[in-house]
Amino acid sequence: MAYAKRIGYLVRRDDMSLDQFHAHWLGTHAELCKKLPGLVRYATNLIDRKQYPDAGWDGFSELWFESVEAHDAAFASEEGRTLLADAPNFAKKLYGVLVTENQHIWP
């Protein structure tokens, strides 16, 4: 099954430690994200900037929805607005894109 998938690339705020950034993203923000209506699957991915200093991002999230319409409805909802409003509490930059996922080996 093909899903509408959103990738959110994040850069932590300059005034936050990496531990503070992770705590907020994986705690507070993740709990808000899990409330999005129509969310089918959700994952966060942490990037070790010491190992990959040129990565440009501190991590990225992956959010799957049944359709682009379900994605759009989720982010237009009160939960979606609350989620996006929380981003400046821990991220200097958040860049979200809808992507086309091509599954090659998939359980």
How much is the pLDDT for 100? 85
Q: Which fold has domain 4-98?
A: Alpha-Beta Plaits (3.30.70)
For residue 80 the two structure tokens come to 């979606």
| Residues of the chain below pLDDT 50 | none
C-alpha distance across the termini of the chain, in Å: 12
How much is the pLDDT for 1? 62
Q: What is the mean pLDDT of the chain?
A: 95
The domain segmentation of the chain, as residue ranges, is: 4-98
How much is the pLDDT for 25? 98
| pTM over the 0.85 mark | yes
How much is the pLDDT for 20? 97
